[in-house]
Amino acid sequence: MTVFNFYIFDRNGTCLYYAEWNRKKQSGISKEEEFKLMYGMIFSIKSFVNRISPTDMKDGFMNFKTTKYKLHFFETQSGLKFIMNTDLNVGSVKETLQLIYSSIYVEYVVKNPLCYLDQPITSELFKAKLDDFVRGLPIFPTSVS
Amino acid sequence: MRILLRVKIIFRIKSVVLLLQRGVNMATMADEVLFEFLHMELVSHIYRTASKDEKDHCISKLESLGFRVGQSLIERFTKETSRFKDELDTMKFMCKEFWNAIYKKQVDNLRTNHQGVYVLQDNRFKFLTQLSNGKQYMEAAPKYLAFPCGLIRGALSNLGINCIVTADVSAMPACKFQIQIQRV
């Protein structure tokens, strides 16, 4: 099991933070383009899922799989979007993403008066804490060939 | 009309119960966060509203705000304590009780040269723990320490000790407060 990369988007589609760990293949476009593409797709999937669902849903879109990876999605009430790509063996990481939000984002970004909430995160402390946290996850250690 | 009213009341009671169930640990958390956020806003407000030539006064403004708060706080905290034996006893009170009441922890290290200089060292100072754990944002540290400095000065002044309090940071989130007692 392994974690490939991780995005945080705000309500307006700005990419606040991006980190990657075991990503073997790059997208071949600039990071800004990739963020736009990612946000656009998430936005579309969300509205697609909501429209097509036969009954009312509680959580809405949570993850999708391809033959190579699984994308996990978590959105807070305030519209922050946490996206994590992992390999296929990983189960639900909803709690993990929630924990990243409540104990890392809130703690080191919201409570840091020098971090502006609508701009990409520059805090080294946040970066370090997140990196430590993800590396310590049980789903992180083994890399797939 | 009456039925509507009743429904409303029932709904209200329900939501209160729900809030209470959820709120026990949220409430204990909220009071600390309230102070933190208010302090953050206080600092940014003072800096935002200051004009170009007033910028130098921001620190002293924050400090005097802290001074006034410290004065009132110590009045409350010492309501039930017996009189302090000497200066060192007062300082110990500051390190334990005073710090605990405001920052929910004690000062990690207290040092003195027995000639009126005391150094209070806090290895994880509350206002700095979220900022950084090294040199980043170092230039912003002073504005978040002015209020706490005033807090100490105000508290001591109300206990009859006149002093100058300065803060010193070499690597966040550790911080040293130096208290220099003014003798007349």
Q: Tell me, what's the pLDDT at A80? A: 93
| Residue B59 and residue B143 in contact, taking contact as beta carbons nearer than 8 Å | yes
Instruction: Give dist(CA B126, CA B84) in Å, integer.
Output: 27
φ/ψ (deg, to 5) at A62: -120, -40
The answer to whether A114 contacts B36, with C-beta atoms less than 8 Å apart, is no
Q: Is A29 on the interface with B (CB under 8 A)?
A: no
Residue of chain B nearest A105, judged by CA positions: B130
Torsion-angle region of residue B86: left (phi > 0), alpha (psi -120 to 50) or beta?
Answer: beta
Among the ranges given (A99-113, B4-18, B58-72, B92-106), the one the predictor scored with the smallest mean pLDDT = B4-18
What pTM, to 2 d.p., does this model score? 0.80
Q: What is the pLDDT of residue B53?
A: 78
Residue that the structure tokens 């991780």 belong to: A6
pLDDT for res A64: 93
Asked if B144 is an interface residue toward chain A (Cβ–Cβ < 8 A), one would say yes
Residue A144: is its pLDDT beyond 60? no
Cβ–Cβ below 8 Å for B137 and A114: yes
Spatial separation of the C-alpha atoms in residues A83 and A9, rounded to whole Å: 8
Ordered alpha helix ranges (H), chain A:
31-52, 94-99, 124-135
pLDDT bracket for residue B30 (50, 70, 90): low
Q: Which amino acid is at B19?
A: L
Q: List CB contacts (< 8 A) between A128 and chain B.
A: 133
To the nearest whole Å, the CA of A122 is away from the closest chain B CA by: 10
pLDDT at position A43, please? 94
Query: Cα B151 to the chain's mean position, in Å?
Result: 7
Beta carbons of B130 and A124 less than 8 Å apart: no
Assess B45–A contact: CB distance below 8 Å, yes or no.
no
CA distance B178 to chain A (A): 25
First CA to last CA distance, chain A: 11
For residue B57, what are the contacts with CB-CB under 8 A and spacing of at least 6? B50
- In the Cβ-directed half-sphere of B143, how many Cα atoms lie within 13 Å? 21
Nearest neighbour of B130 by CB, restricted to A107, A124, A128: A107
Residue of B nearest to A107 (CA): B130
| pLDDT value of residue A102 | 92
**Minimal CA separation from B40 to chain A, in Å:** 6
CB pair distance less than 8 Å for A113 and B44: yes
Q: Which two three-digit tokens encode residue B183?
A: 């003798």
pLDDT one-digit tens code per residue, A98-135: 999 999 999 999 999 998 888 999 999 999 999 999 99
Peptide bond into B173 cis (omega under 30): yes
Please state, in angstroms and rounded to a whole number, the distance separating the CA atoms of residues B40 and B34: 10
Give yes or no for a contact between B147 and B167, defined as CB atoms under 8 angstroms apart: no
Is residue A71 within 8 A of residue A62, CB to CB? The reply is: no
Q: Between chain A and chain B, how many beta carbons pairs sit less than 8 Å apart?
A: 32
* Contact between A4 and A22 (Cβ < 8 Å): yes
Q: Tell me: the pLDDT tens digits for A2-34?
A: 899 999 999 999 999 999 988 888 888 999 999
Distances (CA, A) of A88 to A46, A64, B27, B145: 21, 10, 40, 49
- Percent over 90 (pLDDT), chain B: 39
Q: Which helix (H) or strand (E) holds B32?
A: helix B2-49
Closest of B128, B136, B137 to residue B177, by C-alpha: B128
Q: 3-class SS at A114?
A: coil
Under the banding of pLDDT at 50, 70 and 90, the label for residue A73 is very high
| Distance separating alpha carbons of residues A118 and A10, to the nearest angstrom | 7
Residue in chain B lying closest to A108 (CA): B130
Evaluate if residue B129 carries a pLDDT over 60. yes
Q: Which of A77-86, A132-141, B44-53 has the highest mean pLDDT?
A: A77-86
- Span B114-123, mean pLDDT? 91
Q: Any chain A CB within 8 A of the CB of B40?
A: yes
Q: Which residue has the higher pLDDT, A92 or B24?
A: A92
Query: What pLDDT does A39 receive?
Result: 95
Three-state secondary structure call for residue A71: strand
Does residue B5 register a pLDDT over 70? no
Instruction: Please say whether the beta carbons of A127 and A6 come within 8 A.
Output: no
